[in-house]
Amino acid sequence: MNKVTLYTLSTCPWCRKSKKFFSEHNIQFDYTDYDLADEQAQSEIIQVMDQHKATAFPFAMINGKAVEGYNPERYASLLDLAR
């Protein structure tokens, strides 16, 4: 089973596209809107992003691999959707 965690901004159109991608492909995912999260959650998100040298949203962790920005081709590849 795939493990997908998505960090987004509630006002970001690319973040909404990322959420839509996973929903349309029936991929279960957890997400947190950074700008709506509490201070502790924001700190944890920044830690994860820093570990992967990411500076932009959306930021996804797919099966342990980091993806910065909206990148449906990379999402599909990591989820083995091409088959």
Instruction: Please name which of 1, 10, 22, 24 lies closest in space to residue 74, comparing C-alpha atoms.
Output: 22
pTM, 2 dp: 0.92
pLDDT tens across 27-47, in order? 999 999 999 999 999 999 999
Q: How many CB atoms lie within 10 A of CB 64?
A: 7
Q: Where along the chain do its domains lie?
A: 4-78
- For residue 80, pLDDT over 60 is answered with yes
Class of CATH domain 4-78: alpha beta
Identify the weakest region by mean pLDDT among 7-11, 30-34, 39-43, 78-82: 78-82
